[in-house]
Structure 1
Amino acid sequence: MKKADIIIIGAGAAGIFAAINVAEANPGKKVLVVEKSSKLLAKVKVSGGGRCNVTNTCKEPGELIKNYPRGNKKLKKAFAEFGTTDTVNWFSERGVELHAEADGRMFPITNNSQTIIDCLLKACDKYKVEIITRANIETIEKLESSFQLTANANQLFECEKLLISTGGSNKIEGYSWLEKLGHSINPPVPSLFTFNLTDKSITELSGLSVPDAEVKIAGTKLSHRGPLLITHWGLSGPAVLKLSAWGARVLQEKEYQYTVLVNWISGNKEPEVRKMREEFQQENPLKKVAGTPPFQLPKRLWEYLSAKSGIDPELRWNNFSGKNFNKLVNSLVCDEYTASGKTTFKEEFVTCGGVKLGEVNMETLESRICPGLYFAGEVLDIDGVTGGFNFQAAWTTAYLAAKAM
């Protein structure tokens, strides 16, 4: 039987961050982290293309919560207690400076996620946090004044307070042990995923991006505007990933069969496009339509949309009108694609769903059902859009849980 004052299940961002903060504030307490895999901080390692999108420049709690499809209102006070500025300062105080990119994402100045991992693990060593790997917790029993945990290979653990920071699970069965403790679970579904298109002709433009496009799901109010990326599977980039987050449950109900509408020149409607066409036509009468993009679109995309609209490659602007022009206008402002399925990246998998927030005191992250039990990170029914927001929720909930414990 291995005993500790506080046991944390899960050695991801939330678990390790909580362990450091509680151990630093309570040098006399025994803090133990138990991880089922052999890897520590696995998501930190791969996030942001290996650079680790630590947080975002968005500071005001009222604005910050707008980036969380689930849990937003419940997080407002939490972000006022420990927000993005606190995260930046926390890492800075430990020798890791962060820099911001134009879209608000913040990374270590090394642009290497290992910098964040090294910082966190160094702090674990400094404050004598013990970490045990390859220990899969199978049962949790609430005793009168403690918790007893059983792991694989008949390992036994006991603690006064217990923090669950196991991350999201893609199956409801992954939460069954929490249900046994009396908690209710909102069923998990994927969030932050690429739209897979049935028409693969556009995927020949894989790697091409448009800085400002608007993407909608036909038949719904779901819409998002931002950078759009064409991939081997279909459509991705911030506009699509954020739209998938807000529409996670709607798209799951549609069994991932839906129609995507794209405005490639976001902010422009059909009347504006017709006026711009007239001006461009007057300025470039003898240039070929298919080879001369007028809306600062990538040339390859313009050529693709022109061909899709049936425009003769030799047609010149002074002869461009009629039915083909109408088709091109429609392709520019309401380009339609059929989506079937989704692509998620397993290492960066984000779920919509988890422990219901009404059963958790969001000021302390302690269970309202099982005293002494705490939660942090994505195991809760909290998820953010892309941009460092999921990590910020992990840092915040972990900090508050550590403070309370």
Structure 2
Amino acid sequence: MKHYDVLVIGGGAAGFFTAINLVEKHPHLKVAILERGKEVLSKVRISGGGRCNVTHACFVPSDLVKNYPRGEKELLGPFNQFCSGDTIEWFEKHGVELKIEEDGRMFPTSDSSETIIDCFLKATQKLGIDILTQQSVQSLYQAENYWKVETQNQQFKAERIVVTTGSNPKIWDMMTALGHTIVPAVPSLFTFNIKDPRIKDLMGLSSLADVRVKGTKLSASGPLLITHWGMSGPGILRLSAWGARILAEKNYQFTLQVNWLPDYDAESCADFLKSVRTEQAKKTVAKKAPFELPNRLWEKLVLASGISSEQKWADLTNKDLHQLQLQLTEGHFQVNGKSTFKEEFVTAGGIDLKEVNFKTMESKLLPNLYFAGEILNIDAITGGFNFQNAWTGGFIIANSF
């Protein structure tokens, strides 16, 4: 039976960050990472389209927590200990420079997730951390003064256990058996399946929009991307994260209301359309958008308003203008199901946050058992926030020993 001071179960972002910080702060500790797969850090490799969205350029903890539909209240204290700025500094110290993109997302300057993976692998090697792959945990239980872990082919004992297995149902079941409560998982980041003539043949087109789920208080803003199956993009993903539980209850059947002109409400849009009718009287309505809107989308919305492709602005009645205003600022689209990014699957659900001490990330029910990352009922909108939760949790665990 192999004996370690600390066993980290889960060879992903949170697991590696925790193990590295533990040994850097406490060099005497003998630490191992157990990974059920053949490879470690597989989600890091494919995250951010293979570039790894490490964190977000949001440096104030009270602002940063607003990006977490689940975990907002609990993460405030942890982020005051280790925030995005600390992440940048940590990676710089380990030879990885990060850059900020226009939307605030942060990536390695190499634009390759391999840079992050190499950084972690070099650090674990230098620190003497054992990485044990193909070790699927079969049982986990507490003996008198240590934990015993059994995989399919080995047995381990350790004084402390850190669980960073993400949304792994098998491990959640083990945690339930140990007395923890698991909030049932539902998908969090997903796109909307919509079949509608207004977006047909517009695949790849992106436009800023305000979106809301009719009959609820759910709303979001941001770029909306039209895909061959419906709608995606940061605005839609944000809405799916905040609405994860509500939309699951609706079985992903609901009406999406889209305002394609975030700078306009119904009244200001109506006024502007009337002024365009006067100023561009002789011009063809469908030919060119008078707003910052892709022309192909504008043409579809004009036709959906009942205005023909040949009509001039001067020909439009007030009723025509009203129909056009509705399409622009209050377009209704029927959503019929969702599509999930298999490789970047994020769930809402996990260990109930009331059962965790966020000053140490230790279980309140079982001493010497710690959690970091998505095994907890914490998830964020897209943009590097889920990784930041992993880094912060790992740092706090290392500091608490």
TM-score interval (norm. to shorter)? over 0.9
| Cα separation, 2, equivalents of 1:233 and 1:174 | 33
Tell me what 1:57 maps to: 57
- 1:57-76 equivalence runs, <5 A: 57-76=57-76
**Conserved in 1, the CA contact under 8 Å of 2:165 and 2:171?**
no
**Conserved in 2, the CA contact under 8 Å of 1:42 and 1:347?**
no
| Cα separation, 2, equivalents of 1:400 and 1:203 | 49
SS at match of 1:187: strand
Tell me what 2:196 maps to: 199
Tell me what 1:277 maps to: 273
The match for 1:178 among 167, 175, 178 is 175
The match for 2:206 among 203, 209, 221 is 209
Per-residue deviation at 1:213? 0.7
- 1:177-326 equivalence runs, <5 A: 177-199=174-196, 202-210=199-207, 212-326=208-322
Matched, 1:136 2:136: yes
Matched, 1:371 2:367: yes
Tell me what 1:157 maps to: 156
List runs of 5+ in structure 1 lacking aligned partners: none
**Conserved in 2, the CA contact under 8 Å of 1:200 and 1:234?**
no
**Worse overlay, 197-206 or 24-33:** 197-206
After superposition, what is the alpha-carbon deviation per residue over 1:113-168, rounded to whole angstroms, capped at 9, x for unaligned?
A: 11111111111111111101111001101111111111113x11111100000012
| Cα separation, 1, equivalents of 2:277 and 2:334 | 32
Equivalent position amino acid for 2:235 in 1: A
After superposition, what is the alpha-carbon deviation per residue over 1:204-247, rounded to whole angstroms, capped at 9, x for unaligned?
A: 2111000x210000100000111111111111111110111110
Give the TM-score of the pair, scaled to structure 2: 0.97
Equivalent position amino acid for 2:261 in 1: I
| Cα separation, 2, equivalents of 1:106 and 1:256 | 31
Identity of matched residues, %: 48
| Cα separation, 2, equivalents of 1:200 and 1:352 | 32
| Cα separation, 1, equivalents of 2:171 and 2:119 | 30
SS at match of 1:204: coil
Tell me what 2:327 maps to: 331
Per-residue deviation at 1:260? 0.5
Matched, 1:93 2:82: no
What RMSD in Å do the two structures reach over aligned CA positions?
1.2
**Conserved in 1, the CA contact under 8 Å of 2:10 and 2:34?**
yes
Per-residue deviation at 1:6? 0.5
| Cα separation, 2, equivalents of 1:181 and 1:400 | 23
Per-residue deviation at 1:198? 3.7
**Worse overlay, 271-280 or 222-231:** 271-280
List runs of 5+ in structure 2 lacking aligned partners: none
Equivalent position amino acid for 1:37 in 2: G
Equivalent position amino acid for 1:192 in 2: L
**Worse overlay, 193-202 or 111-120:** 193-202
After superposition, what is the alpha-carbon deviation per residue over 1:75-103, rounded to whole angstroms, capped at 9, x for unaligned?
A: 11100000000000000111111111121
Count of matched residue positions in the alignment of Structure 1 and Structure 2? 401
SS at match of 1:202: coil
Tell me what 1:15 maps to: 15
| Cα separation, 1, equivalents of 2:289 and 2:358 | 52
CA separation of 1:143 and 1:203: change in aligned 2, threshold 3 A: farther
CA separation of 1:174 and 1:204: change in aligned 2, threshold 3 A: farther
Per-residue deviation at 1:315? 0.5
| Cα separation, 2, equivalents of 1:203 and 1:180 | 49
Equivalent position amino acid for 2:164 in 1: S
Give the TM-score of the pair, scaled to structure 1: 0.97
Equivalent position amino acid for 1:22 in 2: L
